[in-house]
Amino acid sequence: MTIYITQGRYTRDAIKGMIVKPEDRADSVARLLSKAGGRLLGYYLTFGEYDFLTIAEVPNDVQMAAVLLAAGSGGGVTGLRTTVALTSVEAKGAFAAASDLAPSFKSAGGT
């Protein structure tokens, strides 16, 4: 399964609602991911440009897109930004594959 890191912001209305009635959003996110065949690895409230960060394991890009679309459709989050993450073992494999490909690639402007 693929690991995805998603950052996002709560809307003003979502923040107001959670102040009135605090809730653990990790539970809702975990249930949504589970319905898409994935699982939540981490959910964090963050400072700065984004309000939260999630780390999830999901079968594929289509399922992750479905999760993001479903989450965004509720109107409580905005500015979702998702990054695919590779494990160190997967990264090592990518570097090994690149070592086979690099000699045959001509860089732009190269001779």
**Average pLDDT, integer, range 68-97:** 96
Length of the chain: 111
pLDDT at position 81 is: 98
Q: Read off the pLDDT of residues 33-79 as tens digits, 9 standing for 90 and up.
A: 999 999 999 999 999 999 999 999 999 999 999 999 999 999 999 99
pLDDT at position 111 is: 61
- For residue 23, what are the domain limits? 2-86
- Residue with the bigger pLDDT between 110 and 25: it is 25
**Does the residue 80 lie in any domain?**
yes
Rg of the chain over CA atoms, in angstroms? 18
CATH number at residue 11: 3.30.70.920
- Total domains, the chain: 1
**Does the residue 107 lie in any domain?**
no
**Does the residue 7 lie in any domain?**
yes
Triad 85, 88, 58: Cα angle to 5°? 35
**Does the residue 110 lie in any domain?**
no
**Does the residue 96 lie in any domain?**
no
What pTM was estimated for this model as a whole?
A: 0.88
Torsion, Cα 68 14 43 31, to 10 degrees, reads -60
Give the count of beta carbons closer than 10 Å to the beta carbon of residue 73: 9
